[in-house]
Amino acid sequence: MKKEILEILKNNKNSFISGEELSNKLGVTRTAIWKYINILKEEGYKIESISRKGYKLVEEPDILSREELLIELKLSRFVDDIYYFDKVDSTNSFAKKLALEGAKEGTIILSNEQTGGRGRLGRVWISPPCSSISMSLILKPSIRPWDAAKITEITAAAVAIAIEKVTNLDVNIKWPNDIIIQNKKVCGILTEMGAELDNINYVIVGIGINVNIDEFPDEIKEVATSLKKVAGKEISRKEIVINIVREFEKLYYNFIETGSLKETVEICKRKSATLGKTVKIINKSETIIAEAVDINDEGELLVRKENGEIISVISGEVSVRGINGYI
């Protein structure tokens, strides 16, 4: 009901709608309407109420809530359901549990704060309240496990475009899973999956973005930044989330329907912070220094080794000279 009232107020923004009209439209008492209006006010919505005229939404806060997002994304083909938490250990961990219990593709988990946010290989990822985005998407694509890396690249491309649209900042993708601005990391993507040997059961894409974080811990302040620090102003987390979902679904369905990653690769190449640079690739068995020369149609990074040989890299630990402390 709260969602329905909010939706009507948003559709009539800056004009009054009477309690009676709301009550008739939604089939609940005027007292119930009044209660929900108070809840919305408490959440931060500025709603003017004048007797005989009714209610007018005058200002919307930058809040991430299930209702807000369901309204803003109601035309989305992708979104099945949205879970929003004030605090959670890790949105990816929660998403995994949901996926095992049968949650559908298009389920999105968001949290205002993560207390145990994770990066690749179990590394810590900080997600302070109110200033970061922690979101996980549940996907159930009919692809093979070794194609899951493509989902990372689709997400990276979507996040890069979304951030550019909202902030006008110049955004780069450090292949395959980091978004950087001015050579510092603003977003990391963590893709995890549950799979049989040749069949994926689910993919979880976790997206962590430093939006309005003012200060970073000493250990990472040389390599991390936030959208606010670069833009010099607060950025709306809601706008970023909405735009990510919109850009993601375009690229994702394009890939699913055509089997081609072309559109994504085009963005990843154009926005690449990696191509043309010296990279250090750390595998379990060896470390390779090479020059990143291209991203192929499968999304693999092509690098030229010192002996001239060109090899493709599917995923893994890639450092780019000049970025994130690799000098």
Task: Check the annotation: does 77 bind a ligand.
Answer: no
Vertex 318: Cα angle to 290 and 235 (nearest 5): 130
Q: Which of residues 5 and 159 has its CB atom nearest to a copy of itself in the complex?
A: 159
Among residues 199, 197, 177, 201, which one has the least CA distance to residue 187?
177
For the bound state, the minimum distance from the C-beta of residue 113 to a copy of itself, rounded and expressed in Å, comes to 22
Q: How far is the CB of 315 from a copy of itself (least distance, A)?
A: 4
DSSP reduced 3-state for 176: coil
Question: Shortest Cβ distance from residue 33 to a copy of itself (Å)?
Answer: 43
**91 annotated to a ligand binding site:** yes
Other Cβ atoms closer than 10 A to 218: 7
Q: What is the CA radius of gyration of the chain?
A: 22
The answer to whether residues 60 and 9 touch, using CB atoms and an 8 Å cutoff, is no
* 120 marked ligand binding residue: yes
To the question of whether residue 119 is assigned a binding role by annotation, the answer is yes
* In the complex, minimum distance from the CB of residue 189 to a copy of itself, in angstroms, rounded to a whole number: 10
Answer for the pair 278, 269: CB distance below 8 angstroms, yes or no.
no
Q: Is residue 118 part of an annotated ligand binding site?
A: yes
Contacts with a copy of itself, residue ranges (CB under 8 A)? 93, 96-97, 100, 120-121, 142, 145-146, 148-149, 152, 176, 190-199, 201, 284, 314-316
Alpha carbons 8 and 11: distance in angstroms, whole number: 5
C-beta closer to a copy of itself: residue 13 or 144: 144
* Side chain identity at residue 82, one-letter code: I
Beta bridge partners of 138: 107, 204
Residue (73 or 99) nearer to a copy of itself, CB: 99
Sequence ranges of the binding site: 90-92, 114, 118-120, 185
Sequence ranges of the binding site for biotin: 90-92, 114, 118-120, 185
